Amino acid sequence: MSQMKVLYVYAHPEPKSFNGALKTMAVNTLLDRRHYIEVSDLYRMRFNPVAGPGDYLQRMDPEVFDPQDEALHAANTESFARDIYEEMEKVGWADLIIFQFPLWFASVPAILKGWFDRVFAVGVAFNPMTGSIYDRGMLAGRSAMLVVTAGDAEAAYGPDGIHGDIHTHLAVLNHCTLAYAGLSVLPPHIIYEADTLSGERGRQEIERYRERLLSVLTEEAGRYPIPPSAI
């Protein structure tokens, strides 16, 4: 198995949580297999999720703030703020990007949403004006996978479940963010009942994720099918 460069983007506020144990195991597993890894622990980094004029060291228009125009200008002049630029460098370096987070209100924590808003900038991750989206997206040649913990039972997140189909909830991120930027999207790894896992069940889920992680590192990335009803 060839060595891979993996960016692990982690969004959970408590290091001693079950999510923290999953992340620690994943990092150790990757290192044990001699893969290269960068970790963006967003809460530990105190990553600023709020996009704004401060994202740019040189403003194209200091009077009126247009995020898209400023991002394109920054992409052309390499004038993104340092915290954004460092994350963009990690993305450009990686072969595989893993995003781990708890499902909050059927979506990602705000800090991770803000990471996408600031790091997946037009001119860096995509550019609809040049047709650089989906298969021609600017991050093409890389793959991505979501690792998600959900609090309720699996049946509650099925097509007929009370919360709705979890794959429909995740389709917005998988299709309209990851695939939009050109990433090949792997099926998500989902852990249910994460809030109430016992010690033994928790260990079983950690082992299940370890086995999935080893499988992901050896399989060829493809396009994760998006539920038609989700688009």
The domain that contains 128 carries what CATH number? 3.40.50.360
- The boundaries of the domain holding residue 110 are 5-230
Q: What is the pLDDT of residue 196?
A: 86
pLDDT of residue 86: 98
pTM reported for the whole predicted model: 0.93
Predicted confidence at residue 136, as pLDDT, reads 97
Q: What is the pLDDT of residue 197?
A: 83
Identify the pLDDT of residue 222. 55
Residue type, 36: Y
Q: Which active-site residues does the annotation give?
A: 151, 157, 163
Tokens of 209: 């994720």
When divided into structural domains, the chain yields a total of: 1
Long-range contacts of 225-231 (CB under 8 A, 24+ apart): 226/171, 226/174, 226/175, 226/179, 227/165, 227/167, 227/168, 227/171, 229/168, 230/167, 230/168, 230/171, 230/172, 230/175, 231/171, 231/175, 231/176
The letter for the amino acid at 165 is D
Retrieve residue 171's tokens: 């389709």
pLDDT of residue 198: 81
pLDDT at 1: 55
Measure the CA–CA gap between 68 and 72, rounded to whole angstroms. 6
Per-residue pLDDT of the chain (231 residues; tens, 9 = 90+): 588 999 999 999 999 999 999 999 999 999 999 999 999 999 999 999 999 999 999 999 999 999 999 999 999 999 999 999 999 999 999 999 999 999 999 999 999 999 999 999 999 999 999 999 999 999 999 999 999 999 888 899 988 899 989 999 999 999 999 999 999 999 999 999 998 888 889 999 999 999 999 988 776 655 555 655 555
pLDDT for res 229: 56
| Exposure class string for 52-75: b at 16+ Cβ within 10 A, else e | eeebbeeebeeeeeebeebbbbbb
Rounded CA separation 205/190 (Å)? 10
pLDDT at residue number 226: 60
